[in-house]
Amino acid sequence: MDINLAGRTAVVTGGSKGIGLAVVSQLAASGARVVTGAKHLSPEIEELARDKQVTFVEVDLADPDGPAQLVAAAGDRVDILVNNVGNAQARLSGFLSLTDEDWSATLALNLMAAVRATRAALPGMLAVGAGVIIMTCSVNARLPDPAVIDYSAAKAGLAGFAKALSKEVGPHGIRVNTVSPGPVATDLWLGSDGVAASVSQATGAKPTDVEDQAAAQSVTGRFTQPAEVAALILYLASDQAANITGSDFAIDGGFIPTW
Tell me the domains of the chain and their CATH numbers: 9-182+225-248 (3.40.50.720), 185-223 (no CATH)
**256: helix, coil or strand?**
coil
**148: helix, coil or strand?**
helix
| Residue 198: other Cβ atoms inside 10 A | 18
* Residue ranges, the chain, pLDDT below 70: none
**pLDDT computed for residue 244 by the predictor:** 98
**pLDDT computed for residue 201 by the predictor:** 76
**pLDDT computed for residue 187 by the predictor:** 75
DSSP tag of 243: T
Residues known to be catalytic: 151
pTM over 0.75: yes
**pLDDT computed for residue 93 by the predictor:** 92
Question: What is the layout of strands, in order, in the sheet containing 131-136?
Answer: 54-58, 33-38, 9-13, 80-83, 131-136, 174-181, 248-251
**pLDDT computed for residue 186 by the predictor:** 85
Q: How many helices (H) and strands (E) does the chain have?
A: 10, 7
**pLDDT computed for residue 213 by the predictor:** 86
User: In whole angstroms, what is the distance from residue 35 CA to residue 57 CA?
Assistant: 7
Q: Give the residue among 204, 175, 210 at the shortest CA–CA distance from 79.
A: 175
- 226-255 confidence digits (pLDDT tens): 999 999 999 999 999 999 999 999 999 999
User: In whole angstroms, what is the distance from residue 28 CA to residue 54 CA?
Assistant: 7
